[in-house]
Chains A and B, each alone.
Chain A
Amino acid sequence: MKEYPWGMTSLAPSSASSTALHQESVPLTNIDVERIRNDFPVLHQSVNGHPLTYLDSGATSQNPISVLEAEQEYYEQRNAAVHRGAHTLAVEATEVFEAARETVAAFVGAQADEIVWTSNATEAINLLTYSFSNASLGLGGLAARQFSLGTGDEIVVTEMEHHANLIPWQQLALRTGATLRFIPVLDDGTLDLLAAANVVGPHTRLLAFTHGSNVTGTINPVAELVALARKVGALVVLDACQTVPHLPVDLKALDVDFAAFSGHKMLGPTGIGALYGKAELLAGMPPFLTGGSMITTVDMTHAEFLAPPQRFEAGTQRISQAIALAAAVDYLRETGMDRVAAWEAQLGQRLVTGLAEIDGVRLLGPGLGVERLGLAAVDVAGVHAHDVGQFLDDAGIAVRVGHHCAQPLHRRLGVTASTRASTYLYNTTDEVDLFLATLAEVAPFFGVNGGVKR
């Protein structure tokens, strides 16, 4: 038993939590969630005189004790540069660093050598685009030719992308002369799949899209989109930032070529993310960042590069973060991703049901009964999102306000900003209900029509 300064006692062993034992197919309940919450120190505090209600996990998630301890334990016992040095600490550090890669890879159905560490998903997508840029300049030789883009080639994204899966492709198109096209979004916030069949055509070299929308909570039909891409021989890049943390995801089964996800959205620390790439594809890609730890032999004019993933990991790595991310994955795996997904699906439907009861509140994206992530973004008529967020914050409720790094999608849905509540495995139904009740008070407070429907 261990005492913590924030006044909680954890029964968990230092390596993993005992409160989140995976019981196959036994659904999570509020009682389980209360136990889970005990593993998250940050949740046990007051904000503006109210218990914190954290509904912003879509932006960044909180860390269980096991993750905090994994990072601390690394620094207390093993800190050393990995893949260089032969001393004991360096060997141990390398071992745990590579074990972390195996853990994270297995979590998404990949082989360890198909996971490249990055700082976050944004960097993962930039790594891809700059590698393809380099391939377009002729670097990487014959093997890299399949990634080379130029005039006449088309890159296809969607109108619902987070800026992280849009701007890097815009920039790649500018650098290579390729054309950027997009699959439009329908009024209900889902992709226009009929249009997609026309947008993805003979010139499409690459299709990049999000698995789940961070605004509407829509889960995109990956198989259908992959089939469109395969028909024309295009590569598929999946932004899995909102799904790997919340759903069981098997990247191999989804048959995407590349995928990106972020550690801090899945109970891990900031500063760590991953790029997944099929081994045979990574093997042909030229590096993006270059320098130490990614080479075999170097002379004054030339360098030979290591095989992936090291080829893409120049410089001293994010070692403690990778290890802590593996601890986060252990926590999620032990809880059971099927149970996490089912719980959040329930919270998502509860959100949508409750929002329909509030006058003057417009849900962005699909309505009740449609499969969605455990998040919902709304527009409150007559009240700016920042005022909504301020009102909720006053009640201790943390939500995201603004465009959530998806300006084009907001524009498409006819709003400039929205208020988003996003849940995770540590949110209770009471918290969702508190959010809904408080949201219903927003319009009356600001003197506009709205509130609970009568």
Chain B
Amino acid sequence: MSDLQTLYQTIILEHSKARHGAVDLAPLTDAVSRGAASGLRVAESHQINTTCGDEVTLRVSLGAGASPETDTPDSTAGASPDTAVSDLVWAGEGCSISQASASILTDTLRGLSVTEARALLENFREMLRSRGKIEPDEEILGDAAAFGGVSRYPARVKCAMLPWVAFEAALIEAESQ
């Protein structure tokens, strides 16, 4: 594979067009009250890459556990370790790397526990910041391992990280509710 093909792996180009999880976001207040009715804590984060103007708004819904149908949500407690990332949706525009990253993020993190999602995020971040030194672990990262080539292009790391930074911020916001 050429360097360029390593950067723009087929899976990335496909996701940049498929845009899993991309929606016309309803007003946040509506989503929050609708989520509260079903025991979900909803929050979002809007991130802009000022060097290129790419933007992503990522909305997280946190449920009580891996099987929300059987568990009773406990809205008074803080985020317990088995709190689940019940849903992820986003809106945004930008380069193929940032858009594919948002698409793959929703596929990868949806349904994980918050603890698992955080661990995966850290693994992803460490790999991206390694300037190509850390081989992506497909076992852990799944499709997100396709961004391994991005880490050799420091100017594009921000593009790939943008939705993940939005996820991180939205998660903290949702947990504080």
Contact = CB atoms under 8 A, between A and B. Distances in A.
Given A394-B3, A446-B8, A447-B13, A387 B52 contact: no
B93 interface: yes
23 contacts: A383-B96, A384-B99, A385-B95, A386-B54, A386-B95, A386-B97, A386-B156, A386-B159, A387-B8, A390-B4, A390-B7, A390-B8, A390-B153, A394-B3, A394-B4, A401-B52, A402-B51, A402-B53, A416-B53, A445-B8, A446-B13, A447-B13, A447-B17
A309 B2 CA distance: 55
B94 interface: yes
Interface of A: 48, 383-387, 390-391, 394, 401-403, 416-417, 445-447
B53 A387 contact: no
A383 B51 CA distance: 18
A390 B156 contact: yes
A402 B153 CA distance: 18
A167 to B, nearest CB: 15
Interface of B: 2-4, 7-8, 13, 17, 51-54, 93-97, 99, 153, 156, 159
Given A48-B3, A384-B96, A387-B95, 16 more contacts: A385-B95, A386-B94, A386-B156, A387-B96, A390-B7, A390-B8, A390-B153, A401-B52, A402-B51, A402-B52, A403-B53, A445-B8, A446-B8, A446-B96, A447-B13, A447-B17
A446 B16 CA distance: 10
Contacts of A445: 4, 8
Contacts of A402: 51-53
Contacts of B17: 447
Contacts of B52: 385-386, 401-402, 417
B149 to A, nearest CB: 11
Contacts of A446: 8, 13, 96
B23 to A, nearest CB: 20
A384 B8 contact: no
A447 B97 CA distance: 14
Of B51, B94, B95, B99, the most chain A CB neighbours within 10 A belong to B95
A384 B3 contact: no
Q: Which of A383, A387, A402, A446 has the most CB of B within 10 A?
A: A387
Contacts of B93: 416
Contacts of B95: 384-387
Contacts of A390: 4, 7-8, 153, 156
